[in-house]
Amino acid sequence: MQADEIHNSTVYQVLPDAPPEEKYKVGIAYLRDGVPTRARKFIDEARAHGYDNAEVRFHWVLAMLSKRSYRDLTPDERQRLASEVQWCADLPSDEWTRSLSAVHDLLDYLIGTNKDPEQALTQLAGLPAPQRDQVIHHLDLVLTGGLKDRFWADIRRHAEETRTSHNRQNRVWAYFEPFPNRPRTRQPTPVTSTTRDRVRAGFATVAAVLGAGYLAKAVFLAARPLPIVAYLLAIAAASIAIRSGFQWRYLSGRLAEHERRYAGRSGTTETTDQGFAASVTRYFEYYFNRYPPMGMDRTHWTKTTAGIRSWLRNEVVDLYRESRIPAGRIKWLVRFLARDVRDKWHKGELFEYRERYQVAVPTKIVCTLSTMAFLGFASYTVSAALETELLATVTATLVLLIGTGYALRGWSEIIGERRRVADDQLERERVHKAREDEYQRWKDKLDAIRPSETEMETWLTADKTIVVERALRHYRLAWRDVLTHAVLQTPVKNSKHARVRGGPRRYAKYDIRLFLITLDGVRELGTSIDFEHMILTDIERNNFRFDAVSSVYVATPTDLSCDLELTLMNGEPRGIHITDPTSDQTTPDESPDVVAQMNLDVTGFTHTLHILEGIAAEGKRWIERDPYLTKPLEGLADELNRPNPSSANGAKAHN
């Protein structure tokens, strides 16, 4: 399963000894963002420490009823709720006390104290817009049935406006985008020459100097001008040949090294971390195929860049595989590298190393001529020295030749390695700066456009409202025809997901199951929501009478996940996956149980389960036994006494 992408937000963070005002603010954030159970916890803590007024109690009441119907409350919760809303009777009238009073009147209607809801609805409609909108939103499952008719047009219109607000279409993706890992760059390979190499080269140099010194002694003691001049010219030619030869050898070696790097896919890094390495490989193939130079065939481009792609891929795998980070966190780097290679191609810089390490013709000429000159002058010098002392001159010449050969090879490698490391370090600094700049640009972009929790919850609520509206239209129902309803929000398998620290998991795709409970039975509509792209797709419709529900079973594959199994009389059990496990998806300062409970709360599972369990246990008599349904009184007895059909109406329509 994909690991959670946890954004390091402080919106839900509060210290245990924080002032009650801070805890209240966190509670309001949870309530606003669709997590009422956590909202109740923090608001209760704030009140327990003395922070209590009409505004606080108003939001506590909303948290108590948010995503719950009145029937979902325990007797103790109902009693406490009644005392909370009555508390404001003796307080000066303001928007908060009036809001509490409006909620009180609505609850009076639900429990039967007030048979006419008109006064409560009128009082609710007259509240200031901020308070009225909060009541309508959080009491969605209380204001069901005929109570919702008055407000539905405004609710629907608000949903249509808000679901595309704040540039949603171009921002939601950023919420699920993995947090970028900081860039890393391969360190230059350390100098490969050792102390032993330097000692060996030093001894060879001493031997060469001794041999050359003896020849100098021989020609200078002979006091013949031409051998002396030839000796000095040989020394000068040797110096020039050595300098130009070192340059030639270094540049040729570097050119060959880069050509091997760009030549093909040989030498791919072997790694036991197949999952990470395979993901990185796919990223490189995808982005190099996505960003070819303008006018170039993609297939030709991928073949042309096979070598550099393999080299870069190996670098990334080597740099990050031991960190145990998700591959998605370095996707930005792979994308940048692919674009960088393309941009270098456009600028003619992709193979610029061929110019940088190309051995200049003058260097080759100078090296060749100086070497030839050295050989000529050295030969004349040796022949002159042989005339004075044969054996010693031969010995000195052999020592000179052998020492020079070992010294040249040794010092060439030593100096070349030092130069290579210096060049590679400069190149690394340039590359790392470019990657760091891209990292900062990408991080700043994500931080700037990533939606807040409130925006994500607002958009999802709007989507679900549109789903409900489509269902009402399809079944040709008004809210007065609906006794109650339930919305079950579940994740699509393998959907991208992310959350903020301390918050619930949010998904890029949801399956929404809407249950509309009417006198005739249950209307069920299944809709797939592509939340990232704002696409709603009806995937299933089911109509069944109350006595068609055989059983409802809740399965917990793990302590931190949940499944629901619904069985109809004339069908196979239907498994509904509710939540994913969270045991390994939390930060050290989070409780897996708390996160799992939040993930369950936001699905609407508890309310849906209460309805389905009631129907499965009592059939349509559940309507009569439930005192809190906003049901029409006329015709109810006739409907309840209607004989059961021999079999449930299991008509289904699939899109």
Does residue 208 surpass a pLDDT of 70? yes
Mean pLDDT of 240-264: 92
Mean pLDDT of 451-473: 96
Does residue 636 surpass a pLDDT of 80? no
> What pLDDT, on a 0 to 100 scale, did the predictor assign at position 560?
66
pLDDT band at 635 (very low <50, low <70, confident <90, very high): very low
> What pLDDT, on a 0 to 100 scale, did the predictor assign at position 115?
63
In 3D space, the residue among 106, 412, 453, 442 whose CA is nearest the CA of residue 253 turns out to be: 412
How far is it, in rounded angstroms, from Cα 313 to Cα 280?
A: 7
Mean pLDDT of 371-388: 92
How far is it, in rounded angstroms, from Cα 136 to Cα 138?
A: 6
> What pLDDT, on a 0 to 100 scale, did the predictor assign at position 79?
86
How far is it, in rounded angstroms, from Cα 438 to Cα 185?
A: 13
> What pLDDT, on a 0 to 100 scale, did the predictor assign at position 84?
78
Does residue 1 surpass a pLDDT of 70? no
Does residue 133 surpass a pLDDT of 90? yes
pLDDT band at 550 (very low <50, low <70, confident <90, very high): confident
Tokens of 222: 């002979």
Q: Output phi, psi for 79, to 5 deg.
A: -65, -45
What strands, in cross-sheet order, belong to the sheet with 521-530?
Answer: 484-491, 509-518, 521-530, 535-544, 652-653
> What pLDDT, on a 0 to 100 scale, did the predictor assign at position 603?
93
Give the residue, 63 or 625, on which the prediction is more confident.
63
What strands, in cross-sheet order, belong to the sheet with 562-568?
Answer: 549-555, 562-568, 574-579
Does residue 297 surpass a pLDDT of 50? yes
Give the residue, 196 or 554, on which the prediction is more confident.
196
- Give the CB-side neighbour count of residue 316, counting CA atoms within 13 A: 33
Mean pLDDT of 247-260: 94
Does residue 357 surpass a pLDDT of 50? yes
How far is it, in rounded angstroms, from Cα 144 to Cα 481?
A: 10
Does residue 370 surpass a pLDDT of 60? yes
Does residue 135 surpass a pLDDT of 90? yes
pLDDT band at 296 (very low <50, low <70, confident <90, very high): very high
Mean pLDDT of 185-200: 93
**Residue 138, number of CB atoms within 10 A of its CB:** 25
For helices 592-601 and 605-618, give the axis angle rounded to 10 degrees: 60
How far is it, in rounded angstroms, from Cα 40 to Cα 27?
A: 7
pLDDT band at 655 (very low <50, low <70, confident <90, very high): very low
Does residue 85 surpass a pLDDT of 90? no
> What pLDDT, on a 0 to 100 scale, did the predictor assign at position 9?
83
Mean pLDDT of 378-393: 90
Does residue 387 surpass a pLDDT of 50? yes
Give the residue, 592 or 469, on which the prediction is more confident.
469
> What pLDDT, on a 0 to 100 scale, did the predictor assign at position 269?
47
Give the residue, 198 or 88, on which the prediction is more confident.
198
**Residue 5, number of CB atoms within 10 A of its CB:** 21
Mean pLDDT of 12-26: 94
| pLDDT averaged over every residue in the chain | 88
Instruction: Provide, rounded to the nearest whole percent, the portion of the chain with pLDDT above 70.
Output: 91
